[in-house]
Every structure is written in C-alpha cells, then in structure tokens.
Amino acid sequence: MRRYTSMLLLATISLASCSKDFIEKNNPNGTTVNDFFTSENSVLLAVNGAYSTLRGSNNIGENSGLYTDERSDDTGRDDAQSNAGEPFQFNDFSLLPSNTYLKSHWLSLYQTITQCNTITTYIDKVSFANPDTKAQYLAEAKFIRAMIYFHLVRKWGDVPLVTKTLNTTEEITANTYRQPQATVYAQIVADLKDALQSKLPDLQTGAGVGRASKAAINGLLGQVYLTMASTFQDNRADNLANAKTYLTAAYNMRPFGRLSEIPYADVFDVSKKTSNKEMIFQIVYKQGDITYGSSIAANNQALGETINSQKKALGVGGNVTHDLILDYEPNDPRKTFSVKFAANPQVQDWFITKYRDASDAAGVNGYGGNDTPIMRYADIILMLAEVNMLQGNEAEAITYLDMVRERAGMPLYAVAKSDPDYKAKYPTLKLAILHERRVELAFEHQRWFDLLRFFTTDELVAFFKAKSQANYGNAKLSNFSKKDRYFPIPFDEYKLNPEKMYQNPGY
C-alpha cells in the first residue's frame, strides 16, 4: 500500500489503536473518533490533546528553536557532525529536502492540525448543556489550528490546507496538494475571527493559564495581518489598519497600567508564572514532573555552570551567536539576565540563561517549571510600534518603543538616537524597532519571523551578507541566498505528487 504522510495519516481515525492497517474499519483494540465523541468531557479531552501536541521539540514547544532561532542570527551550533550534521544545516543555510528534522517538524505541525480537525468535524455529535461551552471548545481548536497554519505558511509558503477529518485514502490523495499562501491566510483569519465570537475570557488566569483567550486571539490576528502587509503588497494599507485594530484590542485587555510595573526577570520566574500579568499565551510545563516537566533550563546550561539548573551540564548549552551579544547596548539588564559567558576551557562561549529553574522542586534531573512564551505584552507593544512606523505615525511608534525601553531601564529613543554608536547601528526607526524586538524577545522564537517581516527577500540576503562571519560561528553566511526565504518541502512529501507538492525554488 502506498504510504501517505502529508497529512500524517489524517485517515487514521483512531485515538488509541493497534491496527494492522490504517483503513481497517473494525479494530477491536481501538476507539474510533466517531465513537470517542460522546460527551462534553470527551470534547474537552480532545481539546486538551490539541494543546498537548504543542509541547514537542518538533512542534512549537520549548526546544523547537532549531526551526526558528537557529534559522536566524541569534543562535546556532558549531557542531557540523552530530546527528549526521542535520541540525547544523538549518543555521548553515544548507538545508536539504531529505533532512529528517525538517520532516519531523512538518509532520508534528500537521499532527496538531489533525487533532484540531477531529474536534471541528465531530463536535456536533455531542449535546452540550450550555452552547457557550461548545463555542469555547471550538474557539480553542480554531485558535490552535490558525496558529499552526501561521507557522506553516511562513516557513514553507504554499502548503496543503485541510480543515476536516479525512476518512479514506482517496480523500487524502485529493487533499495532498499545496494551496496558495493567500488561501491559507484567509483560513487563518476566518478561524481567528470565528474564535473571537466565543465567550472566552479576555485573559486566562489560574488553572486556565496556557489556554486561548480573547487577548491571545486578537494578538495573533494582529500579527497575522501585520505579516500579510509585508507578504501581499496589494492590500498593504488595509492589512496594516486591521493589524493595528486587533493589536490595540489585545493591548487594551492588559491587566496592568504601564509595562514598567512588571520587572523583566519576573516574566520568566517559574514561581510567578500563574500570576504573570505580562504573559498572554504560553505552553505550560509542570515542575518536577518526569513527563510534563520543562528541560529548557538544563538543556541550555553550559558545562561547569549552575545558574539554570541543578542538573549537571555536559555540553556547550544553548549556543548564542556573538552577533547577538554585540547587539546588546551597554548596561542592558536583559543581556545580564538572558545570556552568560561560560568560562570552562571546553566552552569559552556564551549560553542562554533566560530560562532558569535551579529549584529543589526541579531537582538534579532538571524537571523544570519553565513555560514557553508564545505571546506576551512586550511583543504586542513592539508590534504596535512597528505598525505605526509603517503607517507613518512616527511619534506614536516611538511612544510604544519607549514603553519597552523604559521597562528595561534603557535611554528613551530620543536620547538613544543622539548617541553616535546607537545612531550608526540603527539609523532608522525601523531598525531601532527591529533591534528592540531582538534583545527583548531573544530566544522566544520570534527573530526569524521578524526578519522575514521586516525585509524583502533581496533585502534579507543583503542583511545576512553584510554580517561578520567571525561573529556568526562555523555556519557559513555565504550560503544564504533567495532560496532560504522558505524551507524546502520535505522530500517524502514532494515525491507523493511532484506536480501538486511542487518543490520551493532553489532546492
């Protein structure tokens, strides 16, 4: 039987199964989706399952920086040999369609979409005592689905678009084709606007932390429109206007007055994560739990260091490019908090300290309580600075930029731009905002997407070519070219149908 992996066996309508064949109708050891959705609680379990898929390092969870930060100029790895050298390909811009990490990422993202599609397809089988509960579950599924398609379309461009469960091989075949970016973005917007019609809270608190909210939906919708403004020039003005509307709506839902009320370190303090007023949406991990604990603090820690975790480090930790280190302004406390130089003779390099849990609860095994920040208010504020800058509202853009600089204790923009070094490095407001996003949101999986949004493909090539190879590491900046705007379609997906799953240019 021909194996279809594009939709990660969307036809496998089984939540728990030992089936011999994925089209087998009556597997006595499995529960089909059709049989699973029998109560409100079964829908809740399915929604919780969708959130759970986000955790993985091949998805968008804490250790997924390979697909974002390591693609940018913030992090990388100097080891070109480990794991057949495949991880090195991302930062080296020598990515091959046969890369198994790339395939795993693609499949994991579509796994999440599959989970969301089962909810939207089968939820009508269940009777709800309160229709608002049904609307909430649908909104959460559509929010997650939109978020994942947003990752897919920015990383690969045209991608297969499926919004229902596929039950047969024929249905899978019929849906294994790339659809235009505009179509994918239209679905993302539709899902998010539908989700806004629910009665989800403006922000989640307590046990609800880690679930979708109105602020998260508005914030994501604003970011989507902002990205569309740089992707589709024909509707640029309308997309910018929509971006401002939804980002402002998210900002107005903040549970604080000024950002400066929230110390930067508190945003990442595991003891304060349930009361963190700045976080809008995060992937939640459970401290001390072997299955659901966070490993980011321990994984980032370098040999000979103890700042992140009680777990003994054996390697170089989360590698940081000197290019990023040099981008921090003098006396920026975000540098002190986010990175540290490892003096061990076998390391002698910078590593990531932004995520820390050296508590006894996390223990010597490093089962930390760090959550993965997906969206927080500094991000929203800097996107508002960006959209106002693009609209020509420079004074308003600077007002938002200064909110973030004020919280960090850095000179406000009017003062900073009078400094010759600052002015030389960031001669325009656009570059000043991009810089601020880099140092504020470092290691939060935003930098690569920021670069794609701030620069055209030609500008991005020039941006990377102008960097110092000495500050970048062993990965070769000279490899960067127009093809690197997108990932290649994984080879196993392309070969299913070379015409409809056409490869991206340059691969």
Total domain count, the chain = 3
Do 124 and 17 share a structural domain? yes
Q: Would you state the pLDDT for residue 24?
A: 33
In 295-428, which residue ranges form alpha helices assigned H by DSSP? 296-300, 322-325, 333-338, 377-390, 394-408, 413-416, 420-425
Report the CATH number that the domain containing residue 177 is assigned in CATH: 1.25.40.390
Look at 30-34, 352-356, 404-408, 500-504 and tell me which has the smallest mean pLDDT: 30-34
Classify residue 499: in a domain, yes or no: yes
Angle at 249 (CA atoms; ends 245, 250), nearest 5 degrees? 120
Tell me the three-class secondary structure of 443-466, residue by residue.
CCCCHHHHHHHHCCHHHHHHHHHC
Q: Would you state the pLDDT for residue 83?
A: 86
The token pair that represents 348 in the structure block: 């002698």
Residue 354 is given by DSSP the state S
The pLDDT of 5-18, averaged and rounded, is 37
Classify residue 393: in a domain, yes or no: yes
Residue type at 379 in one-letter notation:
D
Q: Is the pLDDT of residue 7 over 90?
A: no
In this structure, the chain runs to a length of 507
Using the structure block, give the residue that is written with the tokens 């594009």.
Answer: 6
Do 258 and 292 share a structural domain? no
Q: Would you state the pLDDT for residue 301?
A: 97
Read off the pLDDT of residues 222-263 as tens digits, 9 standing for 90 and up: 999 999 999 998 999 999 999 999 999 999 999 999 999 999
Q: Would you state the pLDDT for residue 35?
A: 82
Read off the pLDDT of residues 110-135 as tens digits, 9 standing for 90 and up: 999 999 999 999 999 999 999 999 99
Q: Please, what's the b/e burial string for 69-98 (b: 16 or more CB within 10 A of its CB; e: otherwise)?
A: bbbbbbbbbeeeeeeeebbbbbbbbebebe
Last residue of a domain, one of 370, 396, 427: 370
Q: Would you state the pLDDT for residue 66?
A: 97
| Cβ-Cβ contacts under 8 Å for 415 (sequence gap 6 or more) | none
The token pair that represents 206 in the structure block: 């307590």
| Cβ-Cβ contacts under 8 Å for 141 (sequence gap 6 or more) | 47, 50, 116, 119, 120
Do 446 and 463 share a structural domain? no
Nearest CA to 172 out of 499, 498, 497, 503 is that of 497
Q: Is the pLDDT of residue 17 over 60?
A: no
Do 380 and 394 share a structural domain? yes
Do 2 and 99 share a structural domain? yes
Classify residue 276: in a domain, yes or no: no
Q: Note the pTM of the prediction, 2 decimals.
A: 0.94
Read off the pLDDT of residues 387-419 as tens digits, 9 standing for 90 and up: 999 999 999 999 999 999 999 999 999 999 999
Q: Would you state the pLDDT for residue 20?
A: 31
Last residue of a domain, one of 301, 335, 370: 370
How far apart are alpha carbons 384 and 247 in whole angstroms? 7
The pLDDT of 339-356, averaged and rounded, is 96
Classify residue 273: in a domain, yes or no: no
Report the CATH number that the domain containing residue 400 is assigned in CATH: 1.25.40.900
How far apart are alpha carbons 92 and 101 in whole angstroms? 14
Do 218 and 187 share a structural domain? no
Classify residue 292: in a domain, yes or no: yes
Q: Is the pLDDT of residue 14 over 70?
A: no
Last residue of a domain, one of 349, 370, 391: 370
- C-alpha radius of gyration, the chain, whole number: 23
Do 381 and 359 share a structural domain? no
Q: Would you state the pLDDT for residue 29?
A: 43
How far apart are alpha carbons 61 and 65 in whole angstroms? 8
Do 465 and 448 share a structural domain? no
Do 154 and 74 share a structural domain? yes
> Is the separation of the CB atoms in 452 and 79 below 8 Å?
no
Q: Would you state the pLDDT for residue 26?
A: 41
In order, the DSSP letters of 407-425 are: HHTPPPHHHHTTSHHHHHH
Q: Is the pLDDT of residue 466 over 80?
A: yes
Classify residue 215: in a domain, yes or no: yes
Classify residue 501: in a domain, yes or no: yes
How far apart are alpha carbons 416 and 413 in whole angstroms? 5
CA atoms within 13 A on the CB side of 434: 21
Read off the pLDDT of residues 55-71 as tens digits, 9 standing for 90 and up: 999 999 999 999 999 99
Do 137 and 4 share a structural domain? yes
319 compared with 17, residue with greater pLDDT: 319
Do 160 and 95 share a structural domain? yes
Classify residue 59: in a domain, yes or no: yes
Q: How confident is the model at residue 30 (pLDDT cuts 50, 70, 90)?
A: very low
Do 351 and 388 share a structural domain? no
156: containing domain: 1-200+458-507
